[in-house]
Structures are given as C-alpha cells and as structure tokens.
Chain A
Amino acid sequence: MSTQVLLNPLEEEPLIAPDKIYGDVTHDVCKPLESFPTKMWWIAFLSALVLFSFGARMVSITIADGIGTWGLNNPVGWAVDITTFVFWIGIGHAGTLISAILLLFRQKWRTAINRSAEAMTIFAVMTAGMFPLLHTGRPWYACFWLFPYPNQRGLWVNFKSPLLWDVFAVSTYLTISLLFWYLGLIPDIASVRDRAKNKIRRTIYTILSFGWRGSARNWNHYEIVCLILAGLSTPLVLSVHTIVSFDFAVSILPGWHTTIFPPYFVAGAIFSGFAMVVTLLVIAREVFGLKDYIQIKHLENMNKVMLLTGMMVGYAYIIEFFTAWYSGNLYERFIFINRATGPYWWAYWTMMTCNVISPQIFWFKKLRRNLAVMFVVSIVINIGMWFERFVIIVTSLHRDYLPASWGYYRMTIYEVAMLVGSFGFFFIFFLLFCRFMPTIAMFEVKSIMKLKSNEV
C-alpha cells in the first residue's frame, strides 16, 4: 500500500485499509467490547484509579480544611486550579472541532477519529468543571451561587460578570457536546445490540440505543439533525474559549487586559486538544488493534493542524510582547519583561520551547508520520499548553502595581494531587468508554468506504 502511494503521489491515500468490507468494520470495532479486557487495559485502568484516588484523598482534605491548603497568597489569588480548568477546557476543543467544523467542511478523514475525540471532549469538560467548583471552597453550595434561581431574598446572579458567562458557556458546551456525541453513538450502539449473544447484554444495549432500527425515514431526519448540531457547535467551540478568555481580558490587570485573547485562546485550545487526541489515539490504535482504521494519514493530518495552530499561538506570544512594548504603557511593558526574565522565567521559557519550537519538527514529512516522534511531541505540547495558562495567570498576578505586595506562588502537594488526580479522573472515563462503546463511528466509516463492487 505504502509503495503504491510513493509511486503515484497524486493519488489520494486511502483512509481505511483497502481490503475491508462493511462486515469487517463492525467486527473489528466491536471486538474489544466483546471480549474480556486485555492486560494492557487493566494496567492502564488501575494506574488511572491510583492517580484518581490520590487526587480524591487530597481533595477531600481540601474540602474539609478549606482552600487554605493551597499555595494561594495575597497577590496570587488564582493559580493552579484555574490554570488546570483552562487547560482541560482547551483539551475539549479538538473533539468538537473534529466532529463539527470538519463535518461542515466535509473532511472524510474525521470519521475514524471523531468518536474518540468527542468522548475526550466530554470527559475533559467534566474534569475541567471540578476546578472552579473546588475553588469556591464549599462546592455543595456552588449551584446556588452560579445559577439564577428564584430564592427567598429575590436576589439574582450578576449577568455582567465574565465568570457567570463562563458558567453558561461551559454548561452549554458540555450539554451540546454530550448530545452530539450520544446521537452519533445511537446507530453504533444498535449494531452492538444486534451482535449481542447474551440477553442481559442485549437488553442494556437496547436501552442505550433507544431502539434504533435504521429505517430510511429515520436516517433522513437523523442526518439533518447531525448537520444542525454541527452548525450549532461550530460557533459554540469558538465561543467557549473566547468566553473563558474574557475571564482575563475583561479585567484591567496588565498582562490580562488584551483584545488578542479570544482568538489566541481558541487557537491554543485547538492546539492542545489535537495534541491530546494524538496522544490518546497513538495508544488506542495499538491497544485496541484499530490500525486499519486510524491510519498514519489521520495522525499526519492532525499533526498538520498542530503545526498551524502552534504557529498561531507563537504569533500571539510574540505580538502580545510587541504590543506591550509598543503601547508605551509602563505597567504592561513591565509585566511582559518580567514574564521572560523575572522569577517565573522558567515557566515562560518552558512554554516557549514546548509550544513554539517543538511543533516545528512537523514541517518534515518523515517526522510527522513517525509515531514515536508525534507521541513525544504531543505530550511536550500539552505540558507547554499547561504552562501557557500558568504563565498568563500567575505571572500577571505575582507582581502588581505596588512592589510592597509582590509575592511568589508555590504549588502545594494538595494542588499537585489535584492536577494529577484530574488526569486519573479523565482516564478512568476514557478507558471505560473504550471498553463499553464503539470507539470508531462505524456507520460513518461505512458510508465513506469505496467497495470494489460499487466501483464497477
């Protein structure tokens, strides 16, 4: 196959191994769901459980004792919690981009990867949601503070606050992504149901599939609904991180108060999200034997998106520095020079190296098609993107207008545990999803297959 590609560079590279027929898709994708989990899966699952338990233990102490357990101090009132919140929300963006924007652009290569990317979105947004709730200190009251509901005092939430916009943006994002993802799953769950040999299994998947039968009349409605949800999700993807960036951009703090934030955050979100999809898919195609469907071509396309968004992010870093200098505003200029040379220089240069320099190796075709290289780079990028948010949040806060109140923020073990535990939480859900749901959108893959019999 690969030699064929080399002989004729103009021919489009196949998205699925060429000898597959419809039945193979169902069989190959359902196989991991129908057998006892492999040893690899158990190792991954138990590791995730350990990470999560560690995080949960420390978070329970935080909830009992209060957020004084964190390293927050007077100038730095926001740190790792919000950094990690923005990080996870950003991760989610790739899933919606692949499922919605690439659907509208009729990109066929999305079909093999959209399901797992959407699942990743949902779990990432769920993970993200925990951080602002924990930061409220008393999360069990949070729903009363965040949502407008009629109460005894007749008092409402403040709709002019970007933090409240965030509540609506994130909860809408989660709901619509969940609907979109589950809607896509229904026909595939029906396939799993119809393959089930045992009665309990069939009953469970029947309920989960809502009794889908795949009649032409149903497909007619179904397709248009998918298109509508894609159309609704597209501005939603762009809006969510825009609104997250408003948390900062609407304030008047030097380093936060910039109009470049919304597009810069969205590009960064897509960048980190694609990196996470690559990390996950490189593992998943190995573990679940899906190499015939998730081909190097898919991963290469994602690497190209990372190269592009990486450069957009790099441009934003440089232009905001330039603007700070050119504006003539001393405070603005100070914050940026302080970022690069001040006490947090190490975080700034980690961010620059990971996000601007490392993706440049994807200019080389050999390297962007190399699994080991892309796996390492995707992890490096995610480390870099976490630091990006850390740099924006912490360096803008730690030295404010009054030098007497300058300070330095250090993470405590509770915050480390929360960060580590959030990965455990995310991976538990992702691994369970891979275990019980078809990880590849079977019906969509079948619809782009070119069978020999059809070509005659």
Chain B
Amino acid sequence: MNLMDEAPDAGLLALFESPDDLVHAIEKVKKQRYRKVEAYTPFPIHEVIHALGIKRSKIPWGTLFMCLLGGTLGFGMQAWMNGISWPINVAGKPFISAPAFVPITFELTVLIGGISTVVLLFLMCGLPNRHKAVLDHRLTDDLFGLYVEKSDPRFNEGELQGIFRDCHVKEIKNFGD
C-alpha cells in the first residue's frame, strides 16, 4: 500500500525554527504579492493564519443548520412515532407530550450537529488525504514551514531565498524542477 507518496506541486519550502520567523517570512512574501502560499505548523498559530489572510471558517454555519435540523427531526420522530403512528397512553399524558420529548430532542440536536461538524471538517480539509505527501517529517514535530508554489505568477526563486534568509531560515528545500 502506498499512501501519501505523491510528489508535491513544484515549489520552495522554507523551514524555520521559530513561529515568529515564519510569521515574518509570510508577511514579507505576502508584501511581494505572492498568492500560492501555504504554511505548515505542528500546532495551530493564530498569527500565521492571520498573516496568510485566511478567512474565518464557515463550518459553524453548517453546524447551526445541522443542529436545528437534528432537533427538528428528533422532536418530529418522537411525536410521529408515539403520537401518530402508534399512539401510546402513558399515565394519561398527552400523546404528543412536549416536556417528555425534550431530553431526546436535545440529544439528537447535539448528536447530528456534532457528527456533521466533523464530516464538514473532513470535507473542508480534504481528509482522508491518501496521496499528498508530507513535505518534511519535522513539520509535525518542531519546525515551521512556508511553501510557495512555482506556479505562482510572481514566483522568483532568488527573491524568495533572500526573504527566507532574512528571516533566519534553517533550511530551504526545492521541490520539482
């Protein structure tokens, strides 16, 4: 089985030892109006996400919708099954007894909302990722990487190397021709 072994798109990877250096490098690269820029970090860093100009995730809207749907379906299921399809008289309560349906309505709100949130995350992040290779094994350990693709119209290797060196780069890796 060969997983995660596809060669990455041609580009230049700079590896930094400190997140601050990475942020500075991103700011400089962005100033030169590079577009195809991505950062790889071992843990989430807000400054990095901010410097790259990534917009706030839209996933919460999906969660909200699915929670409302889950709650509605949850209540509807109970009302239909116990009130319409086969009405059951339990201690003289109404067939559709809203207070008694609250716990399961709540649980299904959370259940359906939660599962869909994770499904949305997988869709948005392209997981499971079977092909794209890891650019460097230390990126999930202690190094912070900046990747600029060569297909970027403004790609200029000399300029980038200069920027990276200014930001105390530890290592530069060249992918593709």
Q: Is there contact, CB below 8 Å, between A225 and B38? A: no
B141 contacts across to A, CB distance below 8 A: 22-23, 26, 191, 194-195
Among B56, B104, B106, B127, point to the contact of A224 (Cβ < 8 A).
Answer: B56
Q: Is there contact, CB below 8 Å, between A220 and B49? A: yes
A366 contacts across to B, CB distance below 8 A: none
| A275 touches B (CB below 8 Å) | no
Q: Is the interface of A mostly helix, strand, loop or mixed?
A: helix
Among B42, B88, B117, B134, point to the contact of A225 (Cβ < 8 A).
Answer: B117
Q: Is there contact, CB below 8 Å, between B110 and A232? A: yes
Question: How far is A390 from B169 in the complex, measured between Cα atoms in Å?
Answer: 63
Which of A209-217, A295-303, A355-363 contacts its partner? A209-217
Distance between B150 CB and nearest chain A CB, rounded to angstroms: 18
Q: Is there contact, CB below 8 Å, between A221 and B125? A: yes
Q: Is there contact, CB below 8 Å, between B40 and A148? A: no
Q: Is there contact, CB below 8 Å, between B86 and A154? A: yes
Among A165, A183, A228, point to the contact of B59 (Cβ < 8 A).
Answer: A228
Distance between B125 CB and nearest chain A CB, rounded to angstroms: 4
**Nearest A residue (CB) for B135:** A213
Question: How far is A171 from B104 in the complex, measured between Cα atoms in Å?
Answer: 11
| B163 touches A (CB below 8 Å) | no
- Which residues between 102 and 154 of chain B lie within 8 Å of chain A, taking CB atoms? 103-104, 106-108, 110-111, 113-115, 117-118, 120-122, 124-125, 127-132, 134-135, 137-142
B131 contacts across to A, CB distance below 8 A: 211
Q: Is there contact, CB below 8 Å, between B4 and A216? A: no
Question: Given contacts A206-B4, A207-B3, A224-B57, is CB(A447)–CB(B104) below 8 Å?
Answer: no
| B29 touches A (CB below 8 Å) | no
Q: Is there contact, CB below 8 Å, between B125 and A168? A: no
| A229 touches B (CB below 8 Å) | yes
**Nearest A residue (CB) for B90:** A160
| A58 touches B (CB below 8 Å) | no
Question: How far is A252 from B45 in the complex, measured between Cα atoms in Å?
Answer: 54
Q: Is there contact, CB below 8 Å, between B114 and A191? A: no
Give the most central of A160, A162, A243: most B CB within 10 Å. Answer: A160
| A179 touches B (CB below 8 Å) | yes
- Which residues between 127 and 184 of chain A lie within 8 Å of chain B, taking CB atoms? 148, 154-162, 164-165, 168-169, 171-172, 175-176, 179, 183
| A407 touches B (CB below 8 Å) | no
- Which residues between 67 and 81 of chain A lie within 8 Å of chain B, taking CB atoms? none
Question: Given contacts A160-B90, A176-B111, is CB(A211)–CB(B56) below 8 Å?
Answer: no
Q: Mark A7-34, 1 if CB is under 8 A from B, else 0.
A: 0000000000000011100100000000
B124 contacts across to A, CB distance below 8 A: 221
Q: Is there contact, CB below 8 Å, between A232 and B86? A: no
| A451 touches B (CB below 8 Å) | yes
Among B110, B125, B128, point to the contact of A172 (Cβ < 8 A).
Answer: B110
Among A165, A211, A217, A442, point to the contact of B127 (Cβ < 8 A).
Answer: A211
A212 contacts across to B, CB distance below 8 A: 127, 129, 140
Give the most central of A172, A183, A233, A239: most B CB within 10 Å. Answer: A172
B88 contacts across to A, CB distance below 8 A: 156, 158, 160
| A35 touches B (CB below 8 Å) | no
Q: Is there contact, CB below 8 Å, between A190 and B140? A: yes
| B20 touches A (CB below 8 Å) | yes
| A222 touches B (CB below 8 Å) | yes
Q: Is there contact, CB below 8 Å, between B44 and A232? A: no
A236 contacts across to B, CB distance below 8 A: 107, 110
| A453 touches B (CB below 8 Å) | yes
Distance between B98 CB and nearest chain A CB, rounded to angstroms: 11
Q: Is there contact, CB below 8 Å, between B100 and A215? A: no
Question: How far is A194 from B131 in the complex, measured between Cα atoms in Å?
Answer: 15
Q: Is there contact, CB below 8 Å, between B82 and A211? A: no
Q: Is there contact, CB below 8 Å, between B40 and A215? A: yes
Distance between A447 CB and nearest chain B CB, rounded to angstroms: 4
Give the most central of A194, A212, A221: most B CB within 10 Å. Answer: A221
Question: How far is A444 from B43 in the complex, measured between Cα atoms in Å?
Answer: 7
B127 contacts across to A, CB distance below 8 A: 210-212
B125 contacts across to A, CB distance below 8 A: 217-218, 221-222
Question: How far is A443 from B140 in the complex, measured between Cα atoms in Å?
Answer: 9
Question: Given contacts A156-B86, A443-B43, is CB(A225)–CB(B103) below 8 Å?
Answer: no
Q: Is there contact, CB below 8 Å, between B110 and A194? A: no
Q: Mark B67-99, 1 if CB is under 8 A from A, else 0.
A: 100000000011001100110101101000100
22 contacts between A and B (CB under 8 A): A157-B81, A158-B88, A160-B82, A165-B103, A165-B104, A175-B115, A179-B114, A207-B3, A211-B129, A212-B127, A213-B40, A213-B129, A216-B48, A219-B41, A220-B49, A224-B56, A224-B59, A225-B118, A228-B59, A246-B103, A443-B43, A453-B20
Task: Given A158-B90, A220-B57, A443-B44, output 7 extra A-B contacts at Cβ < 8 Å.
Answer: A158-B88, A187-B140, A195-B137, A206-B4, A211-B4, A212-B140, A214-B40
In the complex, the 6 A-B pairs of residues with the closest C-beta atoms, listed nearest first: A211-B129, A22-B142, A156-B81, A23-B142, A219-B44, A443-B43
Query: Using a CB–CB distance below 8 Å, which chain B residues touch chain A?
Result: 1, 3-4, 17-20, 38-45, 48-49, 52, 54, 56-57, 59-60, 63, 67, 77-78, 81-82, 85-86, 88, 90-91, 93, 97, 100-101, 103-104, 106-108, 110-111, 113-115, 117-118, 120-122, 124-125, 127-132, 134-135, 137-142
